[in-house]
Amino acid sequence: MKPVGLIAVNFAREQRWPILTLLLWVLLLAFLGLVTDIHRQREDLLFVFKQDAIYVLAFSVFFGGSAIYNERRSRRILGVLSKAVGRQQYLSGLVLGVTIACALYCFALGLTGSWTLGGAGFPISRVWFLMVCLVTACTLAGTVALMFSTFLNPFFAAGATAMVLGLPVLASQILGPRWNYVIPVWELGATVLNSSFNSPGTASWLPVVLAAVETLAFWLLSARIFAYVDIAVAVE
């Protein structure tokens, strides 16, 4: 487990600038909380909160889709995998790294959301439930992107990830809402987007559990593919 933790922390450290940039948006929410009347401007605050939430989903795909590519291109992956680190451990470290990066952001968003939205009457427990949904969705989206990045460059990996995450949404429009649960990233994102002061929603743990199980499944698939990849060769 030690190498997994080291790789994860190292990954999050390497992504410190995108993470800090993301945190600037959270600061915007905190700033609005300071300068506005949070009771009168609560719908605006909720809008900014939802906007911040969706950004991190996009960033999780960006983090996952570029992680292996950047390491292979810079050849730093050789330094890590020349140690007693298995490829599965390496991938686990990256998944954990993506989760840490997104969780840091979601924690900051949860804190400022509790302060601003909580002050405006939104249930604080609901804010933290939404953050759990968001972190789980980010981990799943990041893992899908990571799987594609084992053999595709980041641009195609992001496109393929968008397709995989989007197909169940399309299917749900035609075949029924149950299809949203096939890969529940959209379902979890919609939980955040559909929350309002009038109807904050109830805590449904099914998509969270499904997302956790599917993260494991996609990680296993990634490990299977990555075991056969020539990592010393540049990605085409």
Nearer to other proteins, 21 or 51 (CB): 21
One-letter-per-residue 3-state SS of 147-167: HHHCCCCHHHHHHHHHHHHHH
- Distance of closest approach, residue 95 Cβ to other proteins, in angstroms: 17
Q: How far apart are CA 185 and CA 162, in angstroms?
A: 11
Q: Cβ–Cβ contacts within 10 Å for residue 120, how many?
A: 19
User: Please, what is the minimum distance in Å from the beta carbon of residue 74 to other proteins?
Assistant: 5
Q: Which amino acid belongs to residue 200?
A: P
For other proteins, the closer CB: 115 or 156:
156
Shortest Cβ distance from residue 54 to other proteins (Å)? 30
Answer yes or no: are the C-beta atoms of 157 and 222 closer than 8 Å.
Answer: no
- Taking the least distance from each CB to other proteins, the nearer of 50 and 87 is 87
Residue type, 191: T
Residue found under tokens 């590519």: 69
Nearest distance in Å: CB 7, other proteins: 8
To other proteins, the closest distance from the beta carbon of 87 in angstroms equals 8
Residue 153 neighbours by CB distance under 10 Å = 17
- 130 to each of 123, 159, 202, 206, 208, how far by Cα in Å? 11, 26, 10, 13, 10
For residue 143, the minimal CB distance to other proteins (Å) is: 21
- Of 39 and 76, which CB lies nearer to other proteins in the complex structure? 76
What are the b/e assignments for 14-45, b being 16+ CB within 10 Å?
bbeeebeebbebbeebbebbeeeebeebbeeb
Q: Among residues 6 and 111, whose Cβ is nearest to other proteins? A: 6
- Using CB under 8 A as the criterion, which residues of the chain lie in contact with other proteins when the complex forms? 2-3, 6-7, 10, 14, 74-76, 78-87, 89, 228, 230-233, 236
| Residue 184 per-residue DSSP state | T
Secondary structure (3-state) at 11: helix
Place of tokens 């600061």: 27
Question: Which residue number, 79 or 121, has a Cβ lying nearer to other proteins?
Answer: 79
Question: From the CB of 233, what's the least distance to other proteins, in Å?
Answer: 7
Nearer to other proteins by C-beta: 3 or 123? 3
